[in-house]
Structure 1
């Protein structure tokens, strides 16, 4: 007897970006975890809502513009102050969304900022658009955080 079955492969997209910044790791961390300020600082962020905040946790919603269309997601974040923040999908148009910011001190006044995003769109139809949008968003996020940190230091 011959059985028929379908094999589903999981398509996870991974994006990695980093930058060397002449700012302390703690300053860059503080900028990234200040999600309530994203809409006034960054054009790609339409709005944010801080749903919960603990000592080293946060749950937040972000409404963003990706590749010409608007979308939203809610993440549950865990943090080690001054070092890293991890984001995991709580709700939104993804099957899977994971992100990690890392802030590695290089000296008292410089650090390496790294962002890793892994995601799987919920819709195969919108998958290519979401992938393109997330790649652009990752580029802009790192660049915009660095630019904002340097402007605030001046």
Structure 2
């Protein structure tokens, strides 16, 4: 059964800054509590293939996506490997002015089987539902320190 998660936030940071923050996958373990590791497999100007190790309460899975970089408006994610039948997602950064934007995350996913859904479903759902807030907090920490 397919699931969809839609999250939106207004932030006092530029779309470009938010784009770069979300695209800095290697630093996810520094501020996403459920992210136990991140690995970049391939980086090109308009595409990144990366894996995240998602862990919580003894449940641990690795998820690999290929991300299309549509700088600075969007990042589109597609499943390469992981405990899903399918997974697609899109970060959209809608500029409101020079120092503000609307961040929109849409994820559509279906687990590969009932065991994956039962063991990993709650962990992934919590991670997905808190992701936008975590990136907004991270942006505030990083960019307010710079005086921006």
TM-score, length of structure 2 as denominator length? 0.91
Structure 1 position 126, deviation (Å): 3.2
Pick one of 72, 76, 88 that aligns with 1:86. 76
Q: Find the partner of 1:139 among 126, 129, 142.
A: 129
* 1:1-80 mapped onto 2 (5 Å cutoff): 11-65=1-55, 69-80=59-70
Q: Aligned with 1:82: secondary structure?
A: coil
Gaps of 5+ in 1: 1-10
- Residue 139 of structure 1 and its aligned partner are, at CA, apart by 2.3
Query: Could you say if the C-alpha distance between residues 67 and 116 of structure 1 is closer, same or farther in structure 2, counting changes exceeding 3 Å?
Result: farther
- Unaligned 5+ residue runs, structure 2? none
- Separation in 1 of the partners of 2:58 and 2:5? 19
Deviation per residue, 1:21-71 (Å, 9 max, x gap)? 010000000000000111122211100110001110010011012575211
Runs of 4 or more, structure 1, over 4 Å off, are none
Residues 67 and 129, structure 1, Cα contact 8 Å, conserved in 2: no
1:122 is aligned to 112
Q: What secondary structure is seen at the aligned counterpart in 2 of 1:148?
A: helix
> What is the TM-score with the length of structure 1 in the denominator?
0.88
Question: Cα distance, 1:145 vs. partner?
Answer: 0.3
Q: Where does residue 96 of structure 1 map in the other structure?
A: 86
- Name the Cα RMSD after superposition: 1.4
User: Counterparts of 2:101 and 2:140 in 1: how far apart (Å)?
Assistant: 12
